[in-house]
Amino acid sequence: MSSEKPDTKNLAIGPEDEPVFRSPWEARVFSIAVHLSRRGLFTWEDFRQRLIAECNGPNASEDYYQNWLRALEGLLDDKGTLIAEEIDREIAELRANAPAPQQHSHDPGEPLRTIPANVESKRS
Amino acid sequence: MAANHHEHDHHRHDEPESDAAIRVKALESILTSKGLMDTAALDMLVDTYENRVGPRNGARVVARAWVDFAFKKRLLSDATAAVNELGFPPGPEGFNLIVLENTSKVHNLVVCTLCSCYPWSVLGLPPVWYKSPAYRARAVSDPRGVMREFGAEIDDDVEIRVWDSSAEVRYLVLPERPAGSEALSEEELAELVTRDAMIGVAKVNPPQGTAKSRKRRSRVASRV
């Protein structure tokens, strides 16, 4: 057994009803891996071996689904389903087409619509 | 960037999507263009593990085993088949489910030391702590300490068995039925069973508010 593991580290126990996924991308990457395996692109054991390598490798993340994502990318690359460059290219494209970030300014700006007070019904 | 690449704030207003989120989006878009994606199937998988399959399944299995001795025997000899009887079929991943019975002499605790293997069909997806390096190491090196953190004290004369989940085998702990639960229905029993007790890091607590437990707690209550 490796003794480098953080044996005294607190477990950071969450509530029993903690959310299954902490953000939508976690749910997405989970389901993509399960779906592709069930489609027969790879066996679950293929994926599990990759996940083990990512969870225990030098680049292991504390964020579990980051490991899951890297495992999936690596496996798809191995299988020739897609290559890493394709993902980088697609990301660049998505970023280029992404709408400008919201500013969340505290300046109230213009109201979307203004309905004037009904002082006097006037027809034009 | 290199100096603080672990300092990403995922909730920054000027960063609508995290690196991971956009990476997953890119992955999905490529797979879609290759005809490998099925959005409906993905949504169904997420819905299944967010809303339909979770520790309440396991709790029903445990409660049935507590009230039905023949079922318990089947559960301990072939858990995959017994659990299927209750409508929880094994997934296509083909894990073999094994049920480990806790007794007054033996306490079982489950871990996956390598990654995050877990009995999905009866517990859903694992909690964050189960997947953490801390739990994966400490469940083996200091199981009593781990259980103490979950509020469970295991007597020194109880043998502790730590089970490592694997590719083929997934474990579910059958906790001890708590004292004071004799009069409860199967449904009420299921409500007592927690996810943590079925992983083996905790025990099932006696029911609150039954005549017996009220009597037992009356001394504590009288201090108020």
Asked if residue B76 and residue B41 are part of one domain, the reply reads no
CA distance A75 to A61: 18
Mean pLDDT computed over B89-100: 88
Confirm whether A1 is domain-assigned: no
Domain of A63 in residue numbering reads as 24-97
Rg, chain B, Cα only: 21
Identified catalytic residue from B112, B121, B165, B181: B112
Q: What is the pLDDT of residue A2?
A: 43
ipTM score assigned to the predicted complex? 0.82
Q: pTM higher than 0.90, yes or no?
A: no
Asked if residue B58 and residue B46 are part of one domain, the reply reads no
B117 is catalytic: yes
Domain of B34 in residue numbering reads as 19-50
Confirm whether B210 is domain-assigned: no
Confirm whether B108 is domain-assigned: yes
Top pLDDT among A16 and B87 is at: B87
Confirm whether B1 is domain-assigned: no
Q: What is the pLDDT of residue A83?
A: 81
Asked if residue B66 and residue B46 are part of one domain, the reply reads no
Q: State pLDDT tens for residues A65-113.
A: 999 999 999 999 999 888 888 988 999 998 888 776 665 666 667 777 7
Q: State pLDDT tens for residues B199-213.
A: 999 999 999 865 444
A28 and B CB contact within 8 Å: yes
Quickly count: other Cβ atoms within 10 Å of residue A109's Cβ. 8
B16 and A CB contact within 8 Å: yes
Asked if residue B75 and residue B107 are part of one domain, the reply reads yes
Confirm whether A114 is domain-assigned: no
Q: How many domains does chain A have?
A: 1
CA distance A78 to A21: 27
Asked if residue B136 and residue B28 are part of one domain, the reply reads no
Q: Please, what is the average pLDDT of chain B?
A: 87
pLDDT at B97 over 70: yes
Q: What is the pLDDT of residue B4?
A: 43
Asked if residue B45 and residue B100 are part of one domain, the reply reads no
Confirm whether B80 is domain-assigned: yes
Q: How many domains does chain B have?
A: 2
pLDDT at B45 over 50: yes
Confirm whether B7 is domain-assigned: no
CA B166 to chain centre: 15
**DSSP letter at B127?**
P
72-101 in B: which are within 8 Å (CB) of A? 92-94
